[in-house]
Amino acid sequence: MLGEDSQIKQMSQTIQGVLGSKFTYWNLDYSETEEYKYVEKLLRKINLDKLVTIASNSLFYGLAPFEILNKYDKEDKKIYIDLVYREPASINKFYYDDKPPYPIKSIEFIGRGVNNRAEKFNVDLDRLLIFTYNDDGGIINGESILKPIWKLYKIKKFLYKIMALGISRTAVPIPIGKVKTKLTQDKKANFENILKKLNAGDNASALIDINEWDIDEFGGKSYSFPYDKFIDLINKEMNKVMLLNVLSVGIDANAVFQTTMLEDVFYGKIWQIANNIADTINKEIIVPLVNANFSNPKTYPSLTIKKVGGRLGENIDARTLYMLSQYGLITPDEDMEQWLRSQCGLPMKKTEE
């Protein structure tokens, strides 16, 4: 439901642009071993960049589950894997073990089966690779970054309903009738009926006696409440909450984007998320598969992060900064504005001498 909101969708795309794999440079610890050659080929087969990009969905759903499918390579005589992404929205149920501490043993998904019909299927936990965001206490389904903005979203939807109701009652003018002669109950009822028809019909018309009745110009003016200002405010607050949750940005809307402060916060959070992804791949993919393919492993090649992003002007996405600036969440300083202009193909701002 939250994903249907255009403002949330825009901000989600902005955040994913910041957290995209193009900002992260991966490194596999090199060694002259068969294990290294195997793991290098393994990471190529599972398409690491795509895996990292999809894993960022854990931010918005709380978790990003992949089903592990084993594949035997006859040429190498080694076991490799395919990772099939399972939409978190398709999770129907968690099955728990019946013995303490009652861990999750499988997850039930809803997918397409025969004749394109929805069917339920279970995947054991040992066949799942799960990237989790904000898994406080080891909760497997994590916490979506959209959770804190739920109340704001509900208020926004309620305002839309009030706004539509207000327009229906104030934007449609009401015909006003004037009686020139003595008013009887029958005349009053007849005249009220004419006025109701004029007010309700799209192409309403009425035949009246001008000596007795007169219909004034449509009275009543539309005094629309400035709901748009409240909706704009809520949109901005939703953006700030999402950024605060993901990037730990200060909630001051007039905060200046400083290269020594907010940029470091951006990359610091990206580094943390990338580290979590690397740790999951090392523990859940590399180590088990090396053990499965080598009887006495000499080494376990480890995936690490060589670099996350860069300094100002190198790897920051100009469109991302532009959108954040447009939302009023950051106010670029002079150097940042000049750099943004150069990235967007705009003329440089003239500086006063």
Nearest by Cα to 327 from 77, 109, 12, 55? 12
Domain check: are 284 and 249 in the same one? yes
Residue 331 resides in a domain:
yes
Domain check: are 44 and 23 in the same one? yes
User: Percentage helix, strand, coil, to 5, in the chain?
Assistant: 50, 20, 35
Task: Indicate yes or no: pTM above 0.85.
Answer: no
**Buried b or exposed e, range 92-113, using 16+ CB within 10 angstroms:** eeeeeeeeeeeeeebbebeeee
pLDDT digits (tens, 9 = 90+) for 185-220: 887 888 888 777 777 666 667 777 777 777 765 655
pLDDT computed for residue 345 by the predictor: 59
Mean pLDDT (the chain) is: 73
For residue 328 the two structure tokens come to 């009023």
DSSP string covering 104-156: EEEEEEEEE-GGG-EEEEEEEGGGEEEEESS-GGG-TT---TTGGGHHHHHHH
Domain check: are 50 and 112 in the same one? yes
Q: Across residues 224-231, what is the average pLDDT?
A: 72
Domain check: are 244 and 310 in the same one? yes
Residue 352 resides in a domain:
no
At position 186, the amino acid (one-letter code) is D
Cβ–Cβ < 8 Å for 122, 108: yes
Domain check: are 59 and 124 in the same one? yes
- Domain that includes residue 198, residue range: 172-215
Measured distance between the N- and C-terminal CA atoms of the chain, rounded to whole angstroms? 53
For residue 100, say if its preceding peptide bond is cis, omega within 30 degrees of 0. Answer: no
| Distance, CA of 157 to CA of 261 (rounded, Å) | 35
DSSP 286: I
Indicate whether 253 pLDDT > 50: no
Which of 164, 194, 215 lies at the terminal end of a domain, its last residue? Answer: 215
Domain check: are 251 and 128 in the same one? yes
Residue 350 resides in a domain:
no
| Distance, CA of 50 to CA of 53 (rounded, Å) | 5
Cβ–Cβ < 8 Å for 167, 175: no
At position 9, the amino acid (one-letter code) is K
pLDDT digits (tens, 9 = 90+) for 136-154: 666 777 777 777 777 788 8
Nearest by Cα to 213 from 248, 184, 250, 181? 181
Domain check: are 235 and 277 in the same one? yes
Cβ–Cβ < 8 Å for 103, 97: yes
In the structure, what pLDDT confidence band is assigned to residue 258 with cuts at 50, 70 and 90?
Answer: very low
Length of the chain (residues): 353
| Distance, CA of 113 to CA of 277 (rounded, Å) | 31
| Distance, CA of 290 to CA of 166 (rounded, Å) | 66
Residue 302 resides in a domain:
yes
Nearest by Cα to 11 from 136, 145, 190, 111? 145
Taking each helix axis as running N to C, give the angle between helix 227-247 and helix 6-19, from 0 to 180 degrees, rounded to the nearest 10.
Answer: 30
Which has the minimum average pLDDT: 10-19, 166-175, 298-307? 10-19
Residue 159 resides in a domain:
no
pLDDT computed for residue 325 by the predictor: 60
Cβ–Cβ < 8 Å for 214, 178: yes
pLDDT computed for residue 231 by the predictor: 79
pLDDT digits (tens, 9 = 90+) for 65-89: 999 998 898 888 999 999 988 888 8
Residue 353 resides in a domain:
no
In the structure, what pLDDT confidence band is assigned to residue 334 with cuts at 50, 70 and 90?
Answer: low
Which has the minimum average pLDDT: 8-12, 88-92, 211-215, 237-241? 8-12
Residue 90 resides in a domain:
yes
Residue 270 resides in a domain:
yes
Which has the minimum average pLDDT: 187-196, 255-264, 299-308? 255-264
pLDDT computed for residue 290 by the predictor: 94
Domain check: are 87 and 39 in the same one? yes
Domain check: are 75 and 211 in the same one? no
Domain check: are 107 and 241 in the same one? yes
Domain check: are 192 and 330 in the same one? no
DSSP string covering 209-241: -TTTEEEPSPB-------HHHHHHHHHHHHHHH
**Structural domains counted in the chain:** 2
Domain check: are 69 and 102 in the same one? yes
pLDDT computed for residue 302 by the predictor: 92
